[in-house]
Structure 1
Amino acid sequence: MNPDFLPAIGASLRALGEFATWREVTDETLAEVAAELDRARAAVAGARGQQRANRCARHPGGPVDPTATNGCLLCGVAERRPATPVPDEFVPGDVIRFYDEHGHEAAAARYGPQAVTRALVLRARHPSTRRPGQPVPPRTESEK
C-alpha cells in the first residue's frame, strides 16, 4: 500500500459526507457526487500501487539513496555537500565592488557563493523593499 494517497482519500470522503447534508438534490449535484466518487476511486487505486521508494516530499519520483535521511538521492547530495557559510565580515558593498572589478568567479572564490549571491540580491532589491538596518550596497554608474 502507498500511504501517499491517504490524504486525498480522506479529502474525497469528507467531501462526499458533505453532500449528505444537502436537502436539494439536482442533476448538477449528482454530477458533482459522481466526480468526487471518481476522484476517490482513483486515489484508492493509487494507494493500492507500490509505495514510492523514497520519502521525499520535494522529489517524490526521484532516484533513491539508501544512505540519505529521507531516501532521496537529490536531497542526500545537498546534505552531504553543505553550502559555504557567509563570512562573518560580510559587507555587501565590498563584495559588489570586488565582483564588478574581478568578475563572478573571483568573487565566489574570495567570499563564497552564498555571500556573492546575497550581495547581488541586495543590490537588485529596490530601496523601498529593504529591511531596516540592512546595509545598502553602492550603485554602479549603469544603475544610477
Structure 2
Amino acid sequence: MNHAEMVALGRALRVLGEHGEELTGDTPDARLYEIKEDLTRALAQLEESVSKPKPTTRCLEHPTGPVDTSARDLCLLCETRRRSAPKPEPDKFGPPVAAKDVRVQSRYGIRDDRPQPHERYVPEMWNGTAWQLCGTPRRDRREAELYITAQRRQAKAAPAYRVVHAFTDHVVVRTWGSTEAATAPHRTAYDNH
C-alpha cells in the first residue's frame, strides 16, 4: 500500500466513523443509502490496497507458506528447520551435575550453578519509622556517598541517611544524621556538615 492509498483509505474510514456517531433510531433511508455508498467506496479502496494474499501462518518469513498446526507460528517450513537442527550433546558442555565431585547434595544445587552475587552500595534514607531506598544502587562506594551528600543539601532532606554495602550480607558502611529525633530540622543548602 503506497502513501496515497493509505491516506485515501484513512479518509474513507474516518467518514464511516462519523456516520456511525450520527446514527440514531430515526435515521432516514436517504442517509442510510449515503452510508452504504461510503462503505462500498471504503471496501473498494481496501480491496485495491491489498496486493498480497491473506497470511496463512504467523511467521514473518513465510506468511503464506504451508501450515503446520502443531507449530507455535503455524509455519511448516520453520518448524521443519527447527526439528532438523542438530541437538547439543550433553558431554560437550561438561559433565552432568551428578558426575561432579560433590560431597553433600543440596536441594539448592551446586554453587557453580548459581550466579554470583553482585556487589552494590545502596543509598537509604530514614523516613521516621524505617529505612527506605532513596536512590539507585551504585557499584562504587564513593559515588553512593556523593549521592547522599547531594541529598543532604536539599531543602527537604531526611533526618538520616546511610549507605549499605550489599554483597552476600548487607553491611552498613556509613551513616549520616540520627534516627533518634522524630522531628529533626531539615538541613538547608547552606549547611556544610
TM-score by length of 1: 0.31
Name the structure with the higher helix share.
1
**Bigger radius of gyration, 1 or 2?**
2
Higher strand content, 1 or 2: 2
TM-score by length of 2: 0.24
Pick 1 or 2: higher relative contact order, CA cutoff 8 A, min separation 6.
1
